[in-house]
């Protein structure tokens, strides 16, 4: 289905605003009451941003300065940020802001992505009716609508919600469940995960109780997805109409982590829409995107305990990988996967996921180059593919569900346990077969180390 121009314009503006919120305290510190987006962006000190934040900042600047865009962002002003809201919200739990177009009256709400401390909540939201951070972000939205806009929204203006990654899920959650949801006109979920069965059932139950046609709400929600994004299709229920899901190209994303970065979804002229002669089309996912869809279909068939264990284990790994682990030990609401969940994930979840690759050899052989941006000869790719399939066959028979071993403890890798697992696999899988995997891991670490130091 082709997208109309007004929806496209709202999506383009929302994408810039959600990137601005991604800058955290650099943005909130520069955001003065009624200041325009242009002035706020110019006030941010680029030299104080880290490398990822600089890339986001440069993306915002390029879009604002493109042709006639400066007038658009001169007219949009800052209204409120959760970091300094009178409602006293915890900065680690809520990161969102409101903006207003002073001429059209349109009001924009933007929620930031996951960030440190928050990845395990992504696992939780896939298994419960409402996660802690979904609830807190909705509280902030309802607070601002009930206080700053207590006299009503601007006349003739629309209320537009958006967010990237976890922020996209939060924006969609608010659209589904806020006590002010009737005021919301449109919602954009950029690369955000889906919902649990419990959340889906709650939504349809409430609509029935209140006499609301659920499609009136669902049709307001759009999914804007990077072609190789690996988060959007997480969760058993996307809750976005198929005709409202649009895949955008990410040609400059060359490494796995970049496939989920918002700034790779756009160029100075706007989002990298896929199009034909008639305009913007829904488009097609790339290799990682297709694999993510297949994984979601598989997860829908998992028993509930295996699904929960897999969701929590994967999100705990990501949290640790982002470097927040040791700090997060003192944050009581960060819910790490339990030892029992780790064991169940390794025994049943991961092997089943690896079996998916066995059934899709074309995807399997494309993965190494996509994940690490390393051009490998076919003989190495074949060896890696074979080793992954051997591991898939080996794991279920060597992981004890009742074991109390945890592979991540308090946000830190339990290397003795991980080493023991790898060592126990060598006799049956064989060192020769394991070498390609170990080589690829070492190469990726070297490339990451060199790139980090070259930018320093």
Among 39-53, 161-175, 327-341, 413-427, the minimum mean pLDDT is found in 413-427
Dihedral angle of Cα 25, 108, 19, 85, to the nearest 10 degrees: 10
3-state secondary structure 318-381: HHHHCCCHHHHCCCCCCCCCCHHHHHHHHHHHHHHHHHHHHCCHHHHHHHHHHHHCCCCCHHHH
Q: pLDDT: is 214 or 370 the higher one?
A: 214
Dihedral angle of Cα 262, 263, 265, 267, to the nearest 10 degrees: 160
CB neighbours of residue 370 within 10 Å: 19
Q: pLDDT: is 295 or 262 the higher one?
A: 262
The yes-or-no verdict on residue 400 having pLDDT over 70 is no
Mean pLDDT of 422-448: 56
Burial-class residue 106 by CB neighbours within 10 Å (0-12, 13-18, 19+).
buried
So what's the pLDDT on residue 253? 81
So what's the pLDDT on residue 321? 60
3-state secondary structure 284-331: CCCHHHHHHHHHHHHHCCCCHHHHHHHHHHHHHHHHHHCCCHHHHCCC
Share of the chain above pLDDT 90, in %: 47
Q: pLDDT: is 36 or 120 the higher one?
A: 36
Banded pLDDT at 454 (limits 50, 70, 90): very low
Return phi, psi of residue 111, to 5°: -115, 135
pLDDT tens column, 268-280: 999 999 998 888 9
CB 223 within 8 A of CB 232: yes
pLDDT tens column, 297-318: 888 888 889 988 888 888 777 7
Architecture of domain 5-286: 3-Layer(aba) Sandwich (3.40)
Banded pLDDT at 186 (limits 50, 70, 90): very high
CB contact set of 144 (below 8 Å; sequence gap of 6+): 79, 80, 85, 87, 98, 109
CB half-sphere exposure, 117, CA atoms < 13 A? 15
The yes-or-no verdict on residue 332 having pLDDT over 60 is no
Round the average pLDDT of the chain to a whole number and report it.
82
- The strand pairing partners of 352, in sequence order, are none
pLDDT tens column, 187-203: 999 999 999 999 999 99
Domain ranges of the chain: 5-286, 302-455
């Amino acid at each position: 289905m082709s997208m109309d121009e007004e929806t496209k314009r709202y999506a383009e503006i929302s994408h810039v605003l959600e990137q601005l919120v991604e800058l955290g305290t650099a943005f909130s510190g520069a955001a003065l009451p009624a200041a325009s987006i242009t002035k706020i962006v110019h006030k941010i000190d680029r030299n104080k941003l880290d490398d990822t934040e600089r890339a986001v900042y440069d993306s915002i600047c390029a879009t604002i300065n493109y042709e006639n865009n400066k007038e658009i962002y001169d007219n949009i002003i800052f209204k409120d940020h959760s970091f300094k809201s009178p409602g006293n919200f915890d900065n680690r739990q809520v990161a969102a802001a409101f903006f207003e177009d002073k001429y059209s009256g349109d009001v924009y709400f933007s929620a930031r992505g996951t960030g440190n401390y928050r990845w395990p909540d992504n696992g939780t939201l896939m298994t419960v009716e409402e996660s802690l951070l979904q609830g807190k972000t909705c509280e902030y939205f309802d607070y601002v609508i009930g206080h700053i806009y207590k006299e009503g929204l601007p006349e003739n203006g629309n209320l537009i919600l958006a967010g990237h990654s976890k922020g996209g899920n939060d924006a969609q959650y608010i659209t589904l469940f806020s006590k002010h949801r009737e005021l919301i006109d449109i919602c954009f979920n950029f690369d955000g995960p889906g919902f649990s069965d419990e959340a889906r059932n709650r939504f349809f139950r409430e609509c029935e109780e209140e006499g609301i046609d659920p499609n009136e709400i669902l049709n307001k929600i759009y999914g804007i997805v990077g072609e190789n994004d690996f988060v959007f299709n997480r969760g058993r229920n996307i809750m976005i109409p198929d005709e409202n899901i649009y895949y955008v190209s990410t040609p400059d994303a060359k490494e796995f982590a970049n496939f989920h970065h918002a700034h790779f979804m756009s160029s100075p002229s706007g989002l990298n829409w896929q199009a034909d002669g008639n305009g913007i089309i829904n488009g097609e996912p790339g290799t990682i995107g297709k694999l993510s869809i297949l994984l979601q279909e598989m997860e829908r068939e998992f028993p509930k305990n295996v699904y929960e264990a897999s969701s929590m284990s994967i999100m705990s790994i990501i949290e640790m990988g982002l470097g927040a682990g040791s700090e997060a030990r003192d944050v009581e609401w960060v819910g790490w996967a339990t030892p029992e969940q780790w064991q169940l994930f390794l025994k049943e979840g991961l092997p089943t996921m690896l079996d998916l690759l066995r059934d899709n050899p074309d995807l399997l052989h494309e993965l190494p180059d996509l994940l690490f941006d390393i051009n490998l000869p076919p003989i190495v790719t074949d060896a890696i593919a074979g080793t992954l399939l051997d591991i898939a066959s080996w794991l279920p028979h060597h992981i004890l569900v009742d074991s109390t071993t945890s592979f991540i403890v308090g946000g830190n890798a339990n290397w003795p346990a991980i080493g023991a697992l790898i060592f126990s696999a060598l006799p049956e899988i064989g060192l020769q077969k394991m070498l390609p995997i170990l080589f690829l891991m070492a190469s990726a670490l070297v490339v990451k180390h060199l790139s980090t130091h070259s930018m320093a």
